[in-house]
Structure 1
Amino acid sequence: MSDADRLARNFADLVQDDHEGRTGIRLETRALAHAQHALDLQAVGQASTRVRHRLYYLAAAFTGTALWAAVEAQEPQRAQKHLNKAMTLAGMAGSSEMQMRLWGHASLLALQQQRMHDALAAAEAGRRAHVCRSDAFYRSLASARLAGILSAMGEKTAALRTLDHAEKTYDRADMGEQRPAWMSFYDRAELNGLAALVMGRIGRHDEAEARLHRTLALLRPDFHRNRAYYTIHLALAQLAQGEGDQAVNTALPLLSKGSATPLAGRSQSLLHQFDRDLRKLSPGAGFVIEWQDRLAEGEKEL
């Protein structure tokens, strides 16, 4: 059990590294190495059933982090491989909570590949997990994720109804209850961020902007990756309302040399989307030229 406790502390450290933006292939590789260590411990000495279940849980947790890193980097083949292994390990651990986490990652992976019905099925499976019936906090997260998938599919009414359920369920959750390290990201800031994505997808860009301002105001200082991600979404929401100059002012700090987190994966893709949309909205405008110059400088440095 002392070995398992040490691995659990290492898992919490990896989760924090992800929040702070130290993601990518390095995080993925470290997570897989820890997962293998947890499995290797199964073959060492005598251990109780309780310890063995915990080791399988930790192996699933680390593999899930590798899965998340691959999804974040938009590497679908590696992500799918990690997902398959992690689901097997979570089943061996008998952990509904870990399965719920993995279904959330699976829905995002399917969404990236435009496999919309698979994304919906995964999000629904996450919300059906037993842990969502026993803990409103998990059900709120699963419902917010499901609302995001429904909005991406154009199911406006169902998305808003599901988002409303997520927010009401969040208010009923016991915030003092002890939960695993991977759930530490879910708070009022993240709920507003997920709600903003729903609003943006159904065309309510003013509401998306308001939600994103709330997210960035509430977001914890060490959550550098999420701050960059939601800042780009804020710029996109402003752009969608025709506020090109304001959108550029929002996005420009992400290109500065002193930026806390180098943009990669999903955030970098969003930045390129922003660049394309900006040039369509205001070709030749002074703020567009300034943006393109700064973007070119940043790409040269990379």
Structure 2
Amino acid sequence: MDVRRNTVLEAWMAEHGHSSNSFARELNSAVERLTGREGRYDGRAVRDWKSGRVRWPNARTREALKDVTGRPATALGFAPRGQAAAAAPQEEEPDVKRRTFVGGMAAAAAATAAPTVTATRRIGMGDVDRLNMRFAEVIASDHRHGGQLGIEHRAAALANEALNLQNAGSASQRVRSSLYGSAAAFRSSAMWAAIDGRRYDDARAHMREAQALAELSGDQAIKFRIWSHAGTMFRHMGRPADALAANDVARRLHVTRQDPLFASLGLSRQAAIHGAAQDRTGTRRAFDQAQDAMERADAACDRPVWLSAFYDQAELDSLALSAYLALGEYEVAEYHAHRCLASLRPYMARSRAIATTRLAHAQLGQGAADTATATAMTVPADTATHHARVAHMLQEFGAALRATAPLSPAAQTWSEHTATWRPTP
């Protein structure tokens, strides 16, 4: 058999930054979008196409190729049996030449791409990469400050910027899906900032936008983030039934079967919801399963920045702290608080303030008013006054302290301490 390399497919993959394995993953996602079942392609199958050993894939593969690349199989160097492979079908030659020319211009301009776009610009993965760098900045800002209106507005603006790129020029299906994924990621960060700031109406509006964008992207990881955030939002709102329903959507996504770390996060948040619902058995079982899944997770696995930047043993212990505090199991809550604080990453200032405040509640629940007050006083004043969730929990701490030990030195100390937070008239 005369075997000729499929140089057209190789060129397309090189232009769009695909290895055989990454291209196979894109095709698997496309098959899932088209059929509802995940595809089973791997790097070896793609190498067979590039080498020419497979000259005409089956119908489902051709549909998946078109979904990913925006081109029919014949424009990717494939040819039906009995026909010679061509660089592109003759009837499509002008369009293919135009795309090749525009793609070449985009490659040359990628390193110096300016915000202003022209009618001939081709949007590429370089544009997506630049958005992803800004997404990492939003994530870092959230971990330092959290809940701020400025973070919410910035993330929403970047979501719109990602959407504007859709209309700024031509792009492959892969790039368009990635842009929708970036927009969904930014919108989910705006949603989280609103949740963290207790602005729940705004959070629900961002959630609806994020869910629609995630569907357009087909990105399982960002779908998981949005629905998992929704579960947390409903938990904070005191609606555990809705919280469980939303979190279950996240946990049913196939990404949780592919990566145990996603499964662990879904289970640990489920446990926190069970705690809020006063389900002791469900809480313990879910945390045991979450811990087991975390221990099975491959630390070297490539994961989205939003997950790798925050979810670890410290976060699992933070969620356990929240759950057992809600159940009134204060000794267990304190145990998880100390574990969390001991292993929190240095840049997670918001998480440290939340865990410290919950530790104070756990200590107060055990009758240690002096110790609890000393713990609460270590929360930085800036966080205590500017982070809505922390401020709310500290207000609850003060109310509980006054209710349990109204005339104690600890109550007096706390009153004097919080007085310094109020602006001078």
Q: TM-score, normalised by structure 2?
A: 0.69
1:230 counterpart residue number: 355
Q: CA deviation at 1:249?
A: 0.6
The alignment partner of 2:315 has SS state of helix
Corresponding residue SS for 2:182? helix
**Inter-CA distance 260–84: structure 2 relative to 1 (3 Å threshold):** closer
Structure 1 pair 111/23, CA: closer, same or farther in 2 (3 Å)?
closer
Is 1:206 the counterpart of 2:336? The answer is no
1:68 maps to 192
Q: What's the Cα RMSD here?
A: 1.4
Structure with greater Cα Rg: 2
Q: Residue 58 of structure 1 aligns with which residue?
A: 182
Q: Which residue of 2 aligns with 1:17?
A: 141
C-alpha deviation, 1:171, in angstroms: 0.4
Q: In 1, Cα distance between the equivalents of 2:225 and 2:398? A: 33
Partner SS state of residue 145, structure 2? coil
Q: More helix by proportion, 1 or 2? A: 1
Once the two structures are TM-superposed, the CA of residue 255 in structure 1 deviates from its matched residue by 4.9
1:42-91 deviation digits (Å, cap 9, x = unpaired): 00111000000000000000000000010011111111000000000001
Does structure 2 retain, via aligned residues, the 8 Å contact 1:17–1:23? no
Judged with a 3 Å threshold, the aligned counterparts in structure 2 of structure 1 residues 8 and 81 are, in CA distance, closer, same or farther, namely: same
Cα shift at 1:131: 0.6
The C-alpha deviation readout for 1:134-177, integer Å capped at 9, x for no partner, is: 10000000000001111111111111101100001100000111
Given that residues 146 and 193 in structure 2 are in contact (C-alpha distance below 8 angstroms), is that contact kept between their aligned partners in structure 1? no
Residue 81 of structure 2 corresponds to which residue in structure 1? none
Would you say 1:156 and 2:277 are equivalent positions? no
Q: How many residues align?
A: 300
Q: Residue type of the partner of 2:409?
A: G
For 2:325 and 2:295, the matched residues in 1 are separated by 23
Q: 2:298 aligned to 163, 174, 192, which one?
A: 174
Cα contact 1:224–1:261 (8 A) shared by 2 = no
Task: State the 1:279 CA deviation.
Answer: 0.5
Query: Residues of 2 paired with 1:217 and 1:263: CA distance?
Result: 24
Task: Specify whether residues 22 and 208 from structure 1 end up closer, same or farther in structure 2 by C-alpha distance, changes over 3 A only.
Answer: closer
Pick closer, same or farther for the CA change 1:301–1:223 going to 2, 3 Å.
farther
More contact order relative to length (CA 8 Å, sep ≥ 6): 1
Q: Of the candidates 229, 234, 242, which is equivalent to residue 110 of structure 1?
A: 234
Distance in 1, Cα, partners of 2:323 & 2:175: 41
CA distance in 2, matches of 1:228, 1:167: 24
Distance 2:256 2:200 in 1: 27
The CA deviation string for residues 15-64 of structure 1, in whole angstroms up to 9 with x for no partner, is 00011115411001100111001000000111000000000000000000
Out of 399, 421, 425, which is 1:276 matched to?
399
Contact 1:225–1:261 (8 Å) recurs in 2: no
TM-score (norm 1): 0.96
Whole-Å separation in 1 of the counterparts to 2:224 and 2:424: 40
Greater Cα shift, 61-70 or 113-122 = 113-122
Query: 2:165 maps to which residue?
Result: 41
